[in-house]
Amino acid sequence: MPEITITDTDGRRATDQILDVREDFEVAEGMIPGAIHIPMGELNTRLGEIDRTRPVIVICRSGNRSARVADALTGAGYTADTMAGGMIAWQRAGLPVS
């Protein structure tokens, strides 16, 4: 499962899907603008919300959950990466949140 940097993620936001798999209480602190929020535990029942024809960048708080989800998506036929450092790194870099 490829791991990409926050800089790569920021540059690919216009073309790739950003999938935030954090819990609701975590997302309340802010998420990447335009990201799709599907908590990790709901992924199996909401998989249809993700466009299989576009690459997916999976985000969580620190990178652990997103790595597992990216592996599962890849196994299900999606092109998926995980963002190194998660939202902690994104916010530390001063990148936008909504």
- Strand (E) positions, the chain? 3-4, 17-20, 36-37, 56-59, 80-83
How many Å apart are CA 38 and CA 94, to the nearest integer?
Answer: 24
Extract the tokens encoding 88: 């902690």
With 90 as the cut, is the pLDDT of residue 60 above it?
Answer: yes
Tell me what the mean pLDDT of segment 12-35 comes to. 93
Residue 98 C-beta-side C-alpha neighbours within 13 Å: 7
User: So what's the pLDDT on residue 5?
Assistant: 82
User: So what's the pLDDT on residue 48?
Assistant: 93
Q: Which of 6, 18, 60, 89 is catalytic?
A: 60
Tell me what the mean pLDDT of segment 19-33 comes to. 95
With 60 as the cut, is the pLDDT of residue 39 above it?
Answer: yes
Active site residue 60: yes
How many Å apart are CA 65 and CA 98, to the nearest integer?
Answer: 21
User: So what's the pLDDT on residue 1?
Assistant: 54
Stated pTM of the model? 0.92
